[in-house]
Amino acid sequence: MHSRSFTLLGLLLILWQCPSTGAKFIESLDPSEKYDYVIVGSGAGGAPLAARLASYGHRVLLVEAGDDQTDTYQYRVPALNLQASEFVPMTWSFYVTHYNDAKRQRQDSKMTWLTPSGQHFVGRNPPRGSTPYGILYPRAGTFGGCTAHNSMITVLPDQSDWQAIVDMTGDDSWAPAKMKKYFTRLERNRYIPSSYHGHGYEGWLTTSVTSLKFVIQDFKFTHMVLGAAASVGQGIGKIITTVHGLAEVFLRDLNSGLPDRDRRDGLFQMPLAIRDGARSGPREFVMEVMGARQENGEPKHHLDILLNTFVTRILFDKDDQGEKSPRATGVEYASGQSIYRADPRASKDRDMPLRPDGIITAQREVIISAGAFNTPQLLKLSGIGPREELEKFGIPVVVDSPGVGTNMQDRYEATLVAKNPHRFKLTSRCTWMKSYPDPCLENWKTSTPISKRGGYTTSGLVLAMLKRSSVSVDATPDLFISGAPAAFTGYYPGYSYDAFKDPTYWTWIVLKAHTRNRAGTVLLRTSDPRDTPIISFNSFDTGTNENREADLDAEALVEGMMWARKAIRNVPKFPSPFWEVWPAHRARTAEEMKDWVKKEAWGHHASCTCPIGADDDPMAVLDSSFRVRGVDGLRVVDASIFPKIPGYFIVLPIYMVSEKAADVIHLSTYPVSN
């Protein structure tokens, strides 16, 4: 297949003590500026946190290693999310392993190598002398982080995900009902009437669903929905050639506020972070806060953003007497583009030393929001991590914290791809910006209303199915299955082009949620901050498997794949049938499929590498208030904070955590008794 909440008095006190002088993108630091909080990383954790803290009256500096690409079509156009992940100005390409055994790892058809000629080769049999890279794991080094290229899927986690943190830490502020309030605060829902309970309608993140008119316009797409509905006994006998009929096939709201929400299965329309046909994200919240003005026209808040600034180390004020914990005072940084070697444009010259350009000081706290890979890397480079690993690289130990860079978790995902000779009408004229003019892009730019702007107004993921496998826990659906008109088989260099070069393909994407594996690691490769870490997921039986966890996860994934196969077979054969092309003959039986998913499964929700935990847990890097244990003035707010990977798609849980962190931090400075 391959070729590749706070008091008014408290707020007034802040505004009096810290008069606002502006909010802006800055190119360099003003030595006279004093920031309360320095936040490293502008992704799903850092950007909302920065905006919310600034809106509370704090002086905030948000530091980002990349630049701002949010005016590009790759960012703005929902359908170009795959292209955005390989858009060189914003991409950070990590290469990871699922297995440490090289022989086993190379059985993955997505295995990537660097050939002697300096080219990427994808496959099992590279040219002689090629260097193994691993499996591509696209991340984003740009303003907005991975919210700049994600598929915009916006799905609430289960209540049990939050309750588990309460049970672990004894901190009731994580209770599900309290966490749900952060969702309603951040959401600006545009697909449910405002009288419906459980949603927000005035927040910063616009959520919508793809108009069913798009599906009706495409006969082939409609047939795919019918095949899926037939496979779950949903919609049989319904008339689906009208919008009303099609709506009856779907359950209404995947993010419902109903008590049984976490137990429902079946077909749903996909909630997406899309506003008027364009990507919605924390960027909009940041810009709203920066653009807010007082009655006299002066900026209302103080939020500065420093781009192209690569943080190399966290700085600490240490008590020589050892009577107080070290306190984070700021960060050391280097200025410039493409410094980090996950950036395809970065220099690989190892003879060129990295010279820091300066220091940024935080008056109150430093907050790291660099993501599941870079946050543990930065902590370790700063002396917080497993003692043995730090000493190996000559890094002075600030805190011996053995849990940093462990406990890494992800989903397991696999796809089933099918085709028939007829093109999908929605995408048949799209060039995906590989050639110009691109009729679909022109339609997106010029047409009104939105229902006439074409397929580029959606991510392509119109429908979702929740399904319980036979090995699910507590009757909670553990399979999230979505479909798209594409040929997507995972991540490798060039995948975003291959997925759409032929508009006759359909892909069912099977995601195993609530995975049991906690064995992934992020280890330092060198002490050079520019080098990417060694990222090993230790999948399936090479990871957590004391009680058949690996087999249970694999079995669930197989059931999802078999459902997808059934859905393809249930597609009406008029005008012509679909045939499966991936995995097809490579996995005919359930047993063969189990072996195949162990070779081919991947994920893209890496998390849990600096987990919150109980006070008596030596592996707990953070307390329940996001504070790094063993030091003062340092917190982490991003995907790495979870003790166990939440829900189905991780971006919304991170947004909710970011909003919570803002309140925790604000109230720790101005107690609620004020």
255 occurs within a structural domain = yes
Annotated binding site: 311
- CB count in 10 Å sphere of residue 294: 10
- Cα–Cα distance between 546 and 303 in angstroms, integer? 48
What pTM value is reported for the model? 0.94
Compute mean pLDDT per 10 residues along the chain, 674 residues long, and list them.
42 39 81 95 99 98 98 98 98 98 97 97 97 98 98 97 98 98 98 88 96 80 82 61 64 82 87 96 97 94 98 92 89 98 94 93 98 99 99 98 99 98 93 95 86 87 92 93 96 98 97 98 98 99 95 98 94 86 97 98 99 98 99 99 98 99 94 47
- Cα–Cα distance between 20 and 285 in angstroms, integer? 18
Quick one: three-class SS letters along 542-558? Answer: HCCCCCCHHHHHHHHHH
Strands 131-140, 399-400: pairing kind? unpaired
Domain coverage including residue 249: 211-269+412-514+547-600
Dihedrals φ, ψ of 201, to 5°?
A: -130, 0
- Cα–Cα distance between 619 and 428 in angstroms, integer? 52
Place of tokens 């009437």: 193
446 occurs within a structural domain = yes
pLDDT in tens, 352-400: 899 999 999 999 999 999 999 999 999 999 999 999 999 999 999 999 9
Within 280-356, residue ranges assigned H as helices are 282-291
- Cα–Cα distance between 161 and 172 in angstroms, integer? 13
- Cα–Cα distance between 433 and 265 in angstroms, integer? 37
Question: Residue 656: which residues within 8 A CB-CB, separation 6 or more?
Answer: 179, 182, 183, 186
pLDDT at 3: 43
Cα dihedral sign, 24-29-32-35? positive
301 occurs within a structural domain = no
567 occurs within a structural domain = yes
245 occurs within a structural domain = yes
Joined together, the tokens standing for residue 257 give: 């506020």
**Polymer length of the chain:** 674
Joined together, the tokens standing for residue 125 give: 């049999």
Annotated binding site for FAD: 311
563 occurs within a structural domain = yes
Q: Are 443 and 453 in contact (CB under 8 A)?
A: yes
Q: Are 383 and 315 in contact (CB under 8 A)?
A: no
- How many structural domains is the chain composed of? 1
- Cα–Cα distance between 638 and 657 in angstroms, integer? 8
Q: Are 413 and 509 in contact (CB under 8 A)?
A: yes
Which helix (H) or strand (E) covers residue 243, if one does?
helix 243-249
CA distance to 92, 281, 523, per residue, from 137 (Å)? 9, 21, 16
Q: Which of 206, 345, 339 is nearest to 279 (CA)?
A: 206
CA distance to 71, 79, 497, 646, per residue, from 433 (Å)? 15, 11, 10, 35
pLDDT at 463: 86
Q: Are 373 and 609 in contact (CB under 8 A)?
A: yes
CA distance to 118, 317, 373, 493, per residue, from 127 (Å)? 11, 52, 30, 17
Q: Which of 3, 148, 43 is nearest to 86 (CA)?
A: 148
CATH (domain of 252)? 3.30.410.40
Strands 412-419, 505-512: pairing kind? antiparallel
Nearest-5° angle of CA 283, CA 441, CA 227?
90
CA distance to 430, 442, 456, 503, per residue, from 438 (Å)? 6, 6, 11, 14
- Cα–Cα distance between 35 and 305 in angstroms, integer? 12
Helical pair 46-55 and 651-669, crossing angle rounded to 10 deg? 40
One-letter amino acid of 307: L
Joined together, the tokens standing for residue 97 give: 């392993």
Question: Residue 12: which residues within 8 A CB-CB, separation 6 or more?
Answer: none
481 occurs within a structural domain = yes
Q: Are 457 and 277 in contact (CB under 8 A)?
A: yes
390 occurs within a structural domain = no
Cα dihedral sign, 134-601-110-654? negative
Q: Are 463 and 46 in contact (CB under 8 A)?
A: no
Q: Which of 445, 425, 377 is nearest to 610 (CA)?
A: 377
